[in-house]
């Protein structure tokens, strides 16, 4: 396995390249909502009624990711994982898509539906993982592996997708990797933990970019063992971006963590799990927004967070007043330059067409 995304210091040691993580401390959308005379007078009920009226007037569909705050999930027409939201964006017959998620997701919708208007309620809702790789870095990495196939996680900016051969989400990463013709080098980016998982499950050797999501990288195997000790007999659900997945699989092989009660799942997979499980307790290792959806699906099971502090501030910057403003003022429109979109679409189409096995 070779690695990308790291540099060498003066002594030749491998060191991480520092990436500027997007900030959502003061966004333009937050300031605009705070200064908005109409919104200041509106109750939550007024805002929801206004969103309903505008949704019809604008011929809009509201899509929300599973990590959105509960109030935004509850007002959305469809709540899902990255793959499902891309499929919805590609299939909708509405004129306007309001994307309650992070920026790369709205960009993907704009690429898949170039004739629609795609709005994001806060254009600064970024992603630390998408920020961990640039298109120039992918080109340089690809040049080190002539003939290599670039598989990019959907958590990347559009220009990175444009220099990729395939995109995938956590729901279909293993299937996408398996679909690459045998004998080709595969360069998987940017999430190293998802890459390690896909390598293990697909049996294909991958070159990995050493990027990570700051929310999921923090999960440690000790947290898992402590949670399982505190809740004997519970199921364990882990998102494949979690920093502990590989070590947990080692513990599963050693018999310290029960194999039949451990599930590595995309956020959509976690919803499907919630719909059918009968276990009394499930420990959920991902962003805490997931719990609202799972609890809504199933009141029999106690869904507990592996970590209360696993909160994605980018997802949480989308609020009900921002959704109202977005529909009222038709802001912020997400566009992708046509040349970038045309190149990225092939890789994204392969992702949307790959149904998880």
Q: Find the part of the chain contacting ligand SF4 (CB under 6 A) among 28-36, 42-50, 209-217, 261-269.
A: 209-217
Tell me how far apart the alpha carbons of residues 32 and 283 are, in angstroms, rounded to a whole number.
38
Name the residues that contact ligand 13P, by CB under 6 A: 66, 81-82, 155, 169-171, 213, 241, 266-267
Q: Find the part of the chain contacting ligand SF4 (CB under 6 A) among 111-119, 267-275, 307-315, 335-343.
A: 307-315
- Is residue 315 close enough to count as binding ligand SF4 by CB under 6 A? yes
Tell me how far apart the alpha carbons of residues 150 and 144 are, in angstroms, rounded to a whole number.
12
- Is residue 314 close enough to count as binding ligand SF4 by CB under 6 A? yes
Q: List the alpha helices (DSSP H) in the chain.
A: 28-34, 37-40, 44-57, 70-75, 82-91, 103-112, 135-143, 158-162, 173-179, 192-202, 221-230, 245-254, 267-276, 290-297, 320-329, 338-353
Question: Which of 155, 157, 234, 326 is close enough to bind ligand SF4 by CB under 6 A?
Answer: 155
- Nearer residue to ligand SF4 within complex by CB, 54 or 332: 332
At CA 350, angle to CA 63 and CA 164, rounded to 5?
100
Find the shortest distance in angstroms from Cβ 132 to ligand 13P.
13
Q: What is the DSSP string of 91-148?
A: H---SEEEEES-HHHHHHHHHH-TTSEEE-S-TT---TTGGG--HHHHHHHHHTSTT-
Helix (H, G, I), strand (E, B) or coil at 69: coil
Q: Which does 273 bind (CB under 5 to 8 A by kind): ligand 13P, ligand SF4, none?
A: none
Find the shortest distance in angstroms from Cβ 168 to ligand 13P.
9
Q: Which does 158 bind (CB under 5 to 8 A by kind): ligand 13P, ligand SF4, none?
A: none
- Nearer residue to ligand SF4 within complex by CB, 142 or 216: 216
Find the shortest distance in angstroms from Cβ 121 to ligand SF4.
15
Return the bridge partners of 238, or none: 264, 285
Find the shortest distance in angstroms from Cβ 213 to ligand 13P.
5
Find the shortest distance in angstroms from Cβ 67 to ligand SF4.
6
Give the DSSP letter of residue 233: T
Q: Which does 307 bind (CB under 5 to 8 A by kind): ligand 13P, ligand SF4, none?
A: none
- Is residue 171 close enough to count as binding ligand SF4 by CB under 6 A? no
Question: Which of 107, 124, 159, 287 is close enough to bind ligand SF4 by CB under 6 A?
Answer: 287
Tell me how far apart the alpha carbons of residues 168 and 349 are, in angstroms, rounded to a whole number.
10
Q: Are the beta carbons of 113 and 94 closer than 8 angstroms?
A: no
**Residues in contact with ligand SF4 by the rule CB under 6 A:** 102, 127-129, 155, 213, 215-216, 287, 312, 314-315
């Amino acid at each position: 396995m070779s690695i990308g995304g790291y540099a060498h210091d003066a002594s030749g040691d491998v060191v991480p390249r520092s990436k500027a993580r997007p900030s959502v401390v003061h966004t333009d959308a937050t300031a605009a909502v705070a200064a908005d005379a109409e919104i200041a007078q509106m109750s939550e009920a007024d805002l929801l009624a206004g969103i309903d009226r505008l949704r019809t007037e604008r011929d809009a569909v509201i899509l929300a990711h599973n990590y959105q705050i509960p109030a935004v999930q509850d007002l959305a027409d469809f709540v899902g994982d990255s793959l499902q939201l891309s499929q919805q964006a590609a299939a909708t017959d509405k004129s306007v898509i309001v994307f309650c998620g992070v920026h790369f997701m709205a960009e993907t919708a704009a690429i898949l539906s170039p004739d629609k208007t795609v709005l994001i309620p806060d254009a600064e809702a970024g992603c630390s993982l998408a920020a961990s790789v640039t298109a120039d870095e992918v080109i340089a990495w690809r040049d080190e592996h002539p003939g290599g196939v670039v598989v990019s996680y959907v958590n990347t900016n559009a220009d990175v997708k444009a220099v990729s051969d395939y995109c995938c989400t956590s729901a279909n990463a293993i299937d996408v990797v398996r679909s690459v013709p045998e004998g080709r080098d595969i360069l998987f980016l940017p999430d190293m933990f998802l890459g390690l998982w896909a390598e293990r499950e697909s049996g294909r050797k991958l070159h990995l970019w050493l990027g990570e999501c700051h929310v999921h990288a923090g999960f440690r195997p000790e947290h898992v063992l402590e949670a399982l000790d505190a809740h004997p007999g519970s199921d364990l659900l882990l998102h494949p971006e979690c920093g502990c997945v590989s070590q947990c699989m080692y513990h599963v092989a050693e018999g310290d963590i029960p194999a039949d009660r451990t599930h590595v799942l995309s956020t959509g997979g976690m919803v499907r799990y919630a719909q059918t499980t009968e276990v009394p307790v499930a420990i959920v290792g991902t962003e805490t927004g997931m719990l609202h959806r799972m609890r809504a699906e199933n009141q029999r099971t106690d869904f507990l967070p592996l970590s209360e502090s696993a909160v994605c501030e980018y997802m949480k910057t989308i609020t009900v007043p921002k959704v109202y403003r977005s529909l009222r003022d038709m802001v912020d429109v997400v566009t992708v330059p046509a040349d970038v979109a045309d190149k990225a679409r092939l890789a994204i189409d392969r992702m949307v067409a790959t149904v998880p096995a």
